[in-house]
Homo-oligomer: A and B are copies of this chain.
Amino acid sequence: MFSFVVEARSGRSRAGRLVTPHGAVATPAFMPVGTAGAVKAAPWRDVGEAGAQLLLANTYHLMLRPGDELVAELGGLHGFTGWPGAWLTDSGGYQVMSLAALRTVDEEGVAFRSHLDGALHVLTPERSMQVQMNLGADLVMAFDECPPLPAPRDVVRAAAERTTRWAWRSRQAHRRADQWLFGIVQGGVDPELRERSAREIVALDFPGHAVGGLAVGEAKPDTMRVVAQMDGLLPEDKPRYLMGVGTPEDLLAAVGHGVDLFDCVLPTRNARNGQLFTSHGRLSIRNARHRRDPRPPDPACPCSTCARTSRAYLRHLHLAGEMTAAHLMTVHNLFFYLDTLRRLRQSILLGRFEEFRGETLRGLSAAAEPADS
């Protein structure tokens, strides 16, 4: 039902194949974020045409609305949403810390009030597993504690140690054979805490590992230093997921440290704000320079938006507040992310990852426009 194989390597980068009950995922893979069970502004057909094979949904949001039991009753995330590919759910730990009101954390778990209606809820490792079993994703995450950075070393250490205990409890509570449960490594940007956390989590023998606690406020060089450190500590034969990262440049760097899976709101959120990722850098559609520009966002891009849509028209729709602007730009940004990883994977198969990364980074830094208006 599940398998993961590394098919090729180029340097430290890996091209793999992760088989789930809802299809195979070619790795390195980017997961579009479908917080509430939908990728914002992108219907399934477009998400599929962009090449997505695995999506992320947020346990915190779905447990509050529409409720995980309702989702279970309607066939889990797959049946409820109709997305034909694979789903991954996060543990709820990160979002309960960043979104919920009046949260209190103790060894048992996190008590919090919903940001929607103020109702009191509790998330524990056992409850997170129950919710994620109800949601029914293919890949699920152990419940972790993710402190925002910077934080005192004591805080980071305590969170990492608790994350290990919660990982053990998560493993004990998880009982669906049609889900793969990943352990999450914490430890902030402290090498010693990271190493200890990685060793403890790996010892629990999860089928895959996530690197959490990054992209939460630390300096970017620290992020990649930790990712590189993880490369030496996580087993080679299991998938590695870098949570919440990041820009196209970040993905290129992290793949170079053996990361297989990514998720990030950047392509979808930025699209709604009018920012497009292109092979020649970022482009803000609000910029007055696009007012009469008949070219598509990225002339080199074969996506359906670039095949049919001028910058002038996109700019007009965006300024007029038309939802279609968000849709068209989301379709492009998702295609750009997924296509970049497809081509990157091909470069690994050809043993040319470093060349591909160099060429792609040069394109990305050739700013599509001097500055945003």
Question: Which A residues have a C-beta under 8 Å from some C-beta of B?
Answer: 36-45, 61, 65-66, 70, 73-75, 80-82, 291-292, 294, 304, 308-310, 312-313, 315-317, 319-320, 322-324, 326-328
Cross-interface CB contact of A43 among B36, B37, B70, B327, cutoff 8 Å? B327
Complex Cα distance, B81 from A309, in Å, reads 7
Taking the nearest CB of chain B, how far is it from the CB of A117, in angstroms? 12
| Cβ contacts under 8 Å, A43 to chain B | 324, 327-328
Beyond A80-B310, A80-B312, whether A38 also contacts B322 by CB under 8 A is yes
- B74/A309 in contact, CB under 8 A: no
B323:A74 contact, CB within 8 angstroms: no
Bound Cα distance from A41 to B43, whole angstroms: 11
A304 to B48, CA, bound (A): 15
CA distance A37 to B322 in the complex (A): 10
Contacts A44-B308, A65-B316, A313-B82: A36 and B322 contacting too (C-beta < 8 A)? yes
**Cβ–Cβ contact B82 & A309, under 8 A:** yes
A116 to chain B, nearest CB (A): 9
Query: A312–B36 contact, CB under 8 A?
Result: no
17 A-B pairs with CB atoms under 8 Å apart are: A36-B317, A37-B316, A38-B317, A42-B324, A44-B308, A65-B316, A66-B316, A70-B291, A73-B292, A74-B294, A74-B312, A80-B312, A80-B316, A81-B313, A82-B308, A82-B309, A323-B327
Instruction: List the B side residues contacting A316 at CB < 8 Å.
Output: 36-37, 65-66, 80
Asked whether, in the complex, the Cβ of A74 is within 8 Å of the Cβ of B292, the reply is yes
